[in-house]
Every structure is written in structure tokens, then in C-alpha cells.
Structure 1
Amino acid sequence: MASRIRLFREDDADALVTLVTRSIKQIGPRKYSREQVTAWAARHEDASRFVERARQGQTILIAADEADRPIAYAILESDGHLDDLYSDPAHTRQGLAAALLCEAEATARRSGIELLYTEASELARASFERAGYRVTHRRDFEISHEGKDIPIHNYAMEKRLA
């Protein structure tokens, strides 16, 4: 399937919520418990957060299918923080994460950013490593969900561009 990378449009917001929650709920159980997946997915249910982030100047990169529907996305913040690298479960293993990371790096370089950094899940860690990021440390933390603190982890990773 052919795809292209483009910038976020406000009418993408609902599709991104569907994409990210499907991704977390369907792919997350490969490395995280049901309780962790439920708490993690609950943090991504608000479409307005995408619109707000774009309005704040964050770069939301969309991998779109032939019908121009989002099938993967990443968010690059102005300080080099790369957030939210997700692919729809029906479109994994097609090079979308690599393409988004490559475009994010090109965007960062054009902006004069010298360091990209992220917090990668167990699931995304390999994609970041293939793109040249290195783990700096494991992050153990808790997500509050329905009155409980759910322990979870990810990895602080970075890539120097200079």
C-alpha cells in the first residue's frame, strides 16, 4: 500500500484518536498487561488535544493512505521532543514508523534542532533504535486510572543530529 507523509489538518483529529486507541489496545498487549493497556489508552481519548497541539506550533506528521486517511502519525515538538509515534494495527510492518522518524529528523534539522529525544514504549523501542536513537534509561512510572495508580514503563531515548 502506498502512503505519503503530510502535515496534520484539524479534520484528522478524530481519526487520530481512533488510530492511537486501536494501536494501544490491539498491539499494547504484546508487551503490557491488560490493566496497563487500559490506563494507557484512556490518556489518548480526546481529539481536541491534537488540534491544540497543532495550534501551539507542534508539528504533527501524518502518514496517509491513498484515500488521504491517517494510518500513522508522530508529533515533533519545537524543542526536539518526539511524541506519539503510532501506526494503525492494520498498517504495521510497512515502514511507516521509519518514514515518520525520517521526516521528523529532516524537519528538526531544518529548524536547527540538534537533539531529538523521546520516551518509547517497549513496542516502539526497536523502531527508534533502527532510526539511530539510543536508550539513556528505563523510565518506571505510574498512570492514574479510575482511582488506581498503574505501574508502567518506557525508555528515554535520544539521537544527536549535530
Structure 2
Amino acid sequence: MDFRKATISDLTEMQELYIDTIKSVCKNDYNPEQIEAWIYGVNNKERWIEVIETQFVLLAIIGDKIVGYGTLENGNYIDFFYIHKDFQRKGIADKILAKLELEAQKQYSKIITSDISITARPYFEKKGYIVKAEQKNIRLGVELINYKMEKEL
């Protein structure tokens, strides 16, 4: 497995991974209406381009396929964190998270935060993240629950 920073040419594959992962991995924690509201964000292409251009975006690559990615905004906020549905539980998330935390430390951050899905909460808790608040977000008139979590570095 190799790691590299994302470029605009990775955008489509990143978006496909985002949609496929949410639809398959999160289906036990969110209903179909919630999943559709969640993945609707993929249509905001400007936001995705801004993420690639302004955030630390780390891709995990096997062969020529993106198998996971994480993004760090402002040196202390994990914005996107997704592992390909066919590559779950293979240590990819651990490696990406370790590299994001290291990057946050390089940027002198003492705390790293993220808004974590119901699905990902147990993983992040095992990695030392603490729930600070349950959040109820409304997207397209649908309520989506996630958790504001943080970890001291």
C-alpha cells in the first residue's frame, strides 16, 4: 500500500468511494432516506475541489486503486475519512489516521477533532477519541445524527 496526496484528477474516484462506502458500510446505522441525504453532498463539486486544494488530503493506494482517504482541515479537524467498502478491517484506517494525527502534530495542534458517524464512532473511541456532543444535523429535511469527537495529541 502506498500513500500520496490527492490531486484534482482523483476527484471522481474519491467521490465514488464516498458514495459506495456510505451506502454499504453505514446501512445498518442509517436508513435509506438518511443515506441519500448524506451522499447528496457529493453534488457540491466546488466543495470537493476546495477540499483537495486547501486541505491535507491523504490517499491510500493499492495498485492503481484508491482504497481509502482522510483529510485534515486547518491542521486539527478530520473532515473526510472513508475506507473503500471492499477494504474494511485491513488496517488501512489505522495507517491513514496515524498519518493525519502526525500531520496535526507537525502543525502544532494539541487537539484533533472530527464529526463522526454512528458507524465510525466505535472505531474512533478505540483510537482514544472522546465524544464531546451528539449532533443532530438536518440535510434535505432529514435528521442525521453524528458525534463531535476529539483526542488530545
Query: What is the distance in 2 between the residues matched to 1:13 and 1:47?
Result: 9
Query: What is the distance in 2 between the residues matched to 1:5 and 1:46?
Result: 26
Give TM-score scaled by structure 2 length: 0.93
Which amino acid is 1:14 matched to? T
Q: SS in structure 2 opposite 1:18?
A: helix
Once the two structures are aligned, what percentage of the paired residues are identical? Answer: 26
- List alignment gaps of at least 5 residues for structure 2: none
Task: From 114, 124, 146, give the equivalent of 1:154.
Answer: 146
Distance 1:127 1:5, change over 3 A: farther
What's the RMSD between the two structures over aligned residues? 1.4
Query: What is the distance in 2 between the residues matched to 1:50 and 1:37?
Result: 18
> Contact (CA 8 Å) 1:142, 1:151: kept in 2 or not?
yes
User: Mean Cα displacement is larger for which, 42-51 or 24-33?
Assistant: 42-51
Q: SS in structure 1 opposite 2:145?
A: strand
User: Which 4+ runs in 1 deviate beyond 4 A?
Assistant: none
Residue 98 (structure 1) shift: 1.3
- List alignment gaps of at least 5 residues for structure 1: none
Query: What is the distance in 2 between the residues matched to 1:83 and 1:41?
Result: 15
Partner of 2:83: 87
Query: What is the distance in 2 between the residues matched to 1:6 and 1:24?
Result: 23
Task: From 27, 42, 45, give the equivalent of 1:44.
Answer: 42
